Amino acid sequence: MAKEARIIIGEKEYKCPVITGTEGENAIDTRSLRADSGYITFDEGYGNTGSCQSDVTFIDGEKGILRYRGYPIDELAERSNFVETAYLIIYGELPTREQLQGFSSRLTHHAAVPVNMEHFFEGYPAHSHPMAILSGLINSLSCFYPEFAVNNHKADLENFDEVASAALSKVRTIAAMSYRMSQGLPYIYPRKDLNYAENFLHMMFTEPYAKHVPSPEISKALNLILLLHADHEQNCSTSTVRMVASSEANLFASVAAGICALWGPLHGGANMAVIRMLESIHAEGDDGSTFIKDAKSGKKRLMGFGHRVYKNYDPRAKIIGRVCEEVLEKLGIDDPLLNIARHLEKAALEDDYFVSRKLYPNVDFYSGIIMRAVGIPMNMFTVMFAIGRMPGWIANWKEVASHPQGRIYRPRQIYIGENQREYVPMDKR
Ligand SMILES: CC(C)(COP(=O)(O)OP(=O)(O)OC[C@H]1O[C@@H](n2cnc3c(N)ncnc32)[C@H](O)[C@@H]1OP(=O)(O)O)[C@@H](O)C(=O)NCCC(=O)NCCS
């Protein structure tokens, strides 16, 4: 017999169906509750609300599990690369050789941005944050490719292969161009012979008079960072993408909104905040012990620790922490920030404040250190996260756009403001 939940309000009982996911997650379907009872469910911050059904990513935060389309993150980190994983996330299956070739060719075809777009960069002040430029220019792609941005789901899905490849490929080019602009350097065009990560490093660091050839360790590390960020279920930016997509907005507009949501320090901006925190600890000559005390008393926040969903080790943090050490060793880099991070992690994992609140390192705790080693400047860290997250945003846009009974996302609220009152003329206020 199908399970159902019974909600008793006063004398009355209301029945709500229970829905169960493929991993046994249960939810009470309250969609008809307001119509039946006049009550809505209240869950500020959506901590206990399922906003959609999705078959892209599965997370079990209690057990520290993350799977893209059923594949464990550590297996993909070990055996796949960013482009193959992006295909998996966007299309649902690992690609055949031909499918991967076709996908890579489309990415190469879309790597450059329209020449007119170069003028946009000149309009921004040199100190502009690259996240602002990135979201602005990704949205502007809809002006250059109106045939991909019809704002009608059926029409936009007809060009999905092209628009998805354009977003995934151009996000990297625009990101590199925004960095070059901020440094007053000439733009470097993408090359056909380089893979996704190498091409990004080339567009960032090649000079007209000197080719930049990254070491295999560096391009592998960058590939891994992007892969580990490729999707993460219904986080703040992905939910934003879905929210915008639900109004039938096109893919460029929806993912541009995702970039804005990612910018904040409680989301994608945390990787920058971690490095700032480690640098200030280092500058004060602390090994992290004083900082831990301040974090416990609420004076400071241990950035890169804690997660809304993971109440166990973030599996991405484990992988990135290990690779961080390997990469730094291979490159012969002795980064004092890594020692402080290790000390903070050890101290926190032994401290009852963090243990009792189930606060563990998240993906951002070590990703900044590894990005420093790759040579990525700090104000580009969140941009790297945005490039990495593009496959997840695209897959979630597609889910919303293809939903047969898709409705606009429109939560309710509990109003706590003034009751009706009369307008007060200016001289009586
Ligand atoms: C990620 C984060 C926003 C999750 O927030 P949340 O699910 O709303 O968790 P809460 O704010 O309810 O935290 C629960 C408790 O742990 C404490 N806490 C959470 N994260 C903490 C941190 N990083 N340092 C110190 N204390 C922390 C809170 O103060 C709260 O304590 P209390 O119960 O005594 O009030 C939060 O852990 C955080 O700010 N982390 C640092 C930023 C970060 O790394 N973000 C990247 C996420 S991938």
The percentage of the chain sitting over the pLDDT mark of 70, rounded to a whole number, equals 100
Domains of the chain (ranges; CATH) run 4-66 (2.20.28), 70-264+378-402 (1.10.580.10), 270-374 (1.10.230.10)
Catalytically annotated residue among 294, 307, 314, 427: 307
Q: Is the CB of 302 under 6 A from ligand 1?
A: yes
364 in active site = yes
* Alpha-carbon 185 to chain mean position: 28
Supply the pLDDT for residue 287: 87
Which residues, listed in sequence order, are joined to residue 26 by a DSSP beta bridge? 20
* Distance from Cα 306 to the centre of ligand 1, integer Å: 5
Q: Determine the pLDDT at residue 71.
A: 98
pLDDT at 126: 84
**Residue bearing the CA closest to ligand 1, atom 33:** 357
Instruction: Identify the three-state secondary structure at position 67.
Output: strand
Residue 207 in tokens: 């000079």
- Centre of ligand 1 to C-alpha 335, Å, is 27
At 117, list the tokens. 């777009």
* pLDDT at site 122: 87
Q: Taking Cα atoms as reference points, which of 139, 114, 120, 119 lies closest to residue 260? A: 139
- Give the model's pLDDT for residue 94: 98
In terms of pTM, does the model score above 0.75?
yes
337 CA distance to ligand 1 middle (Å): 22
Q: Write 31-37 long-range contacts (CB < 8 A, 24+).
A: 33/7, 34/412, 37/7, 37/9, 37/12
DSSP 305: B
Residue 109 annotated in active site:
no
pLDDT on residue 266: 86
**Distance (Å) of CA 48 to CA 28, 43, 45, 57, 372:** 11, 7, 8, 17, 36
> What pLDDT does 105 receive?
97
pLDDT of residue 2: 78
Cβ of 301 less than 6 Å from ligand 1: yes
Using 50 as the pLDDT threshold, list the residues of the chain that sit under it: none
CA triple 295-298-273, angle to 5 deg: 55
- What pLDDT is stored for residue 72 in this prediction? 98
